[in-house]
Structure 1
């Protein structure tokens, strides 16, 4: 009888308790040691930010619905926050890694990020979000793969290649920050890096000898998926591979209708995913090029990133001139046409009662609505164009201007001031006066002002945001926590009549959209993710000087189960700094061992019972 009871209990442990350890979504663990190293990507020794001694940092490679745990040890001499750009972090802005929602990680401390990549796929990147630190490195790629039961809308590629591109200064982020604080422009970058490396010496006069360049080795006759992120400071880049087509397949989590490009503009903060078929002969290697856009090319010729695509059976080095960039320095419509063709145009081509000229102007990148995303339903099947808009914000930027004697940037006349106590923490502890829910719905008509002014978003509302760029350069705008629909784009000033050009059928959903100088871009976003979410320009200089705000989304229901609770390892700062314990607060070890500890507990319990009943 005793033996029978013990066996029954043992079966209970095996059948019911052990599955609890493994039934949850898998967890991927990463350890990031963030430190300075010396590197010479452009031939000049300088201080860069490395992760685990590497520049760029390691690729985070996970699958839809995985839990992600990243233990960050800050070995810099200043505060640090890691931001997961484009990762929606459903129900938890606590882990977003921007100053308005999270206290920074002090120097020499650990902190552990814990979040789930819920119902999301695609190509993204991460970076340090504070004080221009991305200008010194600390960035890397972030891939979220489809679950095995969800097919991708193309044959499985032979290989997967991640590429980071970006403009680069030989001055580190602290020097760049000081220049901005002193009221100066950053000036022309010193070069463009590809995967943290300088240009191949394609020109002896422009490129000094001895620079380490990126080489990507491929097999002939194969198809590769190549994911390209612009992680730079403020320069739009044109990406191309000599003699090869780039078949656009996905952008920031949305599969697109596949289109071939010989080159494509990738703006700051954006990520695109291409299919690259290695169908050329191997008489020589091929150039990989990332060059500056919307600039005086004669002055910026040296600001060009060059790598090498090398076939395994290649017979020689790449030679000759680089493949040509778009020749449109004085034609401002080319890039917009290209951008529109690859972001919101399918519906206009399909439904268009438009002239050929207008189709050319307004066609853009459109969704592959027959493809499945993270879930088994087709992308876009919820028909965003039929949802009633409940909130409208027209956000206008301007060139930097003086406010209280300091050079600042603005959105709608407001230059954002980060509070000492993060907004979400102030909410939790009911602190008053930390911020104001009064961000203007239209640009202010009076003088610009310094404010911690936040957009009051209605939970489950549907917001239309018009981004009006009155600056002289391209800006990219990013909204954390969400994928928004890019529905319109044109030159000039947005008016109510501009809605007649919107694509309300199959506009792309993404997290970062470009706005050309003297132009506007319209986005629609469903406010279904509770939290406090950063809305900003990705141009680091303008972001640092105040061109950002937050969208505050609160579930008014008394029992708010739509947001995850404040994490146990939350940091305290500002008005709550006295609550912070002065020790290392990493929780990675305990979090990682939860499953193992449960199994160990069961084992010890069963062993004890077995001993008792012997």
Structure 2
């Protein structure tokens, strides 16, 4: 009798636990995306673009913290294709990162389904093709993550929001651009800037007196831009998933691959106001595009003079602005604990890596290198090679932690730096060239703690912001300057650290971070997905 009672209670507890598990499970969002070529007219004449479900730019994903995202990508192109999710950390799931170091590309006329969770994330992100130079033809879009209703936001709830995808654009087809790079030539200068795939045409309409959230991302290939709105201040509230101290700006620099979120209050006379994006650090070639912020019922343009951006090549202005962007220590992010509860400035650094970018000529062709190594993607994804212990794909000795001695000739190689899970690392990006750089890290956000001119030395640590440096995933490095970041590598996997400037990435300014420990646990990394694609030396492996 007692055993039957115990069994009944035990089964009842199990039933309740099962019910709670179902109730507590985070929601799923399902998408089917058909990738096709199509005719687009961003510059007023027909061009071949890459469309997602017939759209250019692609559809915006609107998610909530901890949502599970399932995207079935059907590749109708005549080339292999991948999408990467810029800024999505892929907790435990580097299998879903969508770069050549983690995934075999999707063959033409086939499909592959991404499955991942936006675990403990909030903010403004993007997605785009990671293969070849497909991004130059489209295939990109917004990826917005709202906070859960139980988590407060550190600013008044806006009355609406708009997503602005701003980037440079070429009149040349992406295949022609790729042929130029493959032949050892630089890309030409971009021909224009676009806002949501349009030049001087996009319109965003709001009600007078209301406040709107603008999610602004640089989806271009090479060009930083300055963003401003005629007659309106920009109140910065978030940078790449981190809530900022809410400062107001008349304009903001946004570098390649970066995202910012601002509040704009429609507090002027009813009119149409110009949204302006102009290129930065492009010498005498100033590119400018506009959109319209329209007050509902407006039928006239504002008479206010158009705001001027900073001088096109003024590096100091941009660097000083970057230093003012700081973390809101008391605000919640995706979780209820304040952002400032992680005291990154007190954590001992276990390793310092200094990465110096350079332009090179190898075998008579243009290449770019990091610490003397110009990265080449092997036919076998690094993640598959690592998981299955496939020899001859990569090693951990090709690229070093510091630049080689001056005069060392650059060479081709597959660049992978090995780290232990939970290493707290200092990375210095040293830019000895006359061009601005933009570096992006997959798998982790990092704290941008320092920028300055010249060559980094250990004494530069005295200038670091060790209290409220902004947490982000893409950092700019100004010409003849350095930028320093601190990062906790607490996400096991194979993670891409790359130039966000496409010419440089395509020609070798690219590497991977192997974050590893010898414990195989689902708490730190998922198993191989059952639908994983195999290629290269992994092609012979049995399907899961």
Q: Same fold (TM over 0.5)?
A: yes
Match of residue 371 from structure 1: 331
Shift of 1:318: 5.2
Shift of 1:559: 4.8
Match of residue 3 from structure 2: none
Q: 1:547 to 1:38 in 2, by over 3 A?
A: same
Match of residue 76 from structure 1: 77
Match of residue 355 from structure 1: none
For 1:276 and 1:20, the matched residues in 2 are separated by 41
| Per-residue deviation, residues 538-593 of structure 1 (Å, max 9, x unmatched) | 00110100101000011223556410111010000001223477xxx9xxxxxxxx
Matched, 1:386 2:374: no
Match of residue 539 from structure 1: 501
Q: 1:580 to 1:309 in 2, by over 3 A?
A: farther
User: For residues 333-412 of structure 1, what are the structure 2 equivalents within 5 Å?
Assistant: 333-341=316-324, 365-398=325-358, 400-412=359-371
User: For residues 45-84 of structure 1, what are the structure 2 equivalents within 5 Å?
Assistant: 45-84=46-85
- Note if contact 1:477-1:538 (Cα within 8 Å) is conserved in structure 2: yes
Matched, 1:437 2:396: yes
User: Does the residue aligned with 2:484 lie in a helix, a strand or coil?
Assistant: strand
Match of residue 502 from structure 1: 464
User: Does the residue aligned with 1:31 lie in a helix, a strand or coil?
Assistant: strand
For 1:540 and 1:523, the matched residues in 2 are separated by 22
Computing the radius of gyration from Cα coordinates, the structure with the larger value is 1
| Equivalent of residue 293 in structure 2, options 300, 309, 322 | 309
Q: 1:20 to 1:333 in 2, by over 3 A?
A: closer
- Note if contact 2:282-2:312 (Cα within 8 Å) is conserved in structure 1: no
User: Does the residue aligned with 2:301 lie in a helix, a strand or coil?
Assistant: coil
TM-score (norm. length: structure 2): 0.95
| Equivalent of residue 515 in structure 1, options 477, 489, 507 | 477
| Equivalent of residue 325 in structure 1, options 295, 309, 333 | 309
- Note if contact 2:235-2:263 (Cα within 8 Å) is conserved in structure 1: yes
- Note if contact 1:461-1:527 (Cα within 8 Å) is conserved in structure 2: yes
For 1:378 and 1:536, the matched residues in 2 are separated by 30
For 2:45 and 2:528, the matched residues in 1 are separated by 44
- Note if contact 1:484-1:523 (Cα within 8 Å) is conserved in structure 2: yes
User: For residues 155-554 of structure 1, what are the structure 2 equivalents within 5 Å?
Assistant: 155-199=156-200, 213-282=201-270, 284-297=271-284, 299-300=285-286, 303-317=287-301, 322-327=306-311, 329=313, 331-341=314-324, 365-398=325-358, 400-438=359-397, 439-445=399-405, 446-554=408-516
User: Does the residue aligned with 1:410 lie in a helix, a strand or coil?
Assistant: strand
- Note if contact 2:228-2:252 (Cα within 8 Å) is conserved in structure 1: yes
User: Does the residue aligned with 1:238 lie in a helix, a strand or coil?
Assistant: strand
Shift of 1:9: 13
For 1:87 and 1:563, the matched residues in 2 are separated by 16
- Note if contact 1:238-1:264 (Cα within 8 Å) is conserved in structure 2: yes
Q: 1:69 to 1:498 in 2, by over 3 A?
A: same
Q: What are structure 2's unaligned runs of at least 5 residues? A: 1-7
Q: 1:338 to 1:559 in 2, by over 3 A?
A: closer
Shift of 1:22: 4.0
User: Does the residue aligned with 1:174 lie in a helix, a strand or coil?
Assistant: helix
Shift of 1:16: 6.0
For 2:518 and 2:485, the matched residues in 1 are separated by 25
Q: Which has the higher strand share?
A: 2
Shift of 1:108: 1.0
Q: 1:503 to 1:8 in 2, by over 3 A?
A: closer
- Note if contact 1:33-1:51 (Cα within 8 Å) is conserved in structure 2: yes
- Note if contact 2:369-2:375 (Cα within 8 Å) is conserved in structure 1: yes
For 1:560 and 1:20, the matched residues in 2 are separated by 18
User: Does the residue aligned with 1:78 lie in a helix, a strand or coil?
Assistant: coil
Shift of 1:93: 0.5
Shift of 1:325: 1.3
- Note if contact 2:60-2:143 (Cα within 8 Å) is conserved in structure 1: yes
User: For residues 121-136 of structure 1, what are the structure 2 equivalents within 5 Å?
Assistant: 121-136=122-137
| Per-residue deviation, residues 453-474 of structure 1 (Å, max 9, x unmatched) | 2111121111100001122221
Q: What are structure 1's unaligned runs of at least 5 residues? A: 1-6, 200-212, 342-364, 586-614
For 1:486 and 1:241, the matched residues in 2 are separated by 27
- Note if contact 2:380-2:535 (Cα within 8 Å) is conserved in structure 1: yes
For 1:428 and 1:561, the matched residues in 2 are separated by 16
| Equivalent of residue 578 in structure 1, options 533, 540, 544 | 540
For 2:41 and 2:257, the matched residues in 1 are separated by 24
Shift of 1:21: 4.1
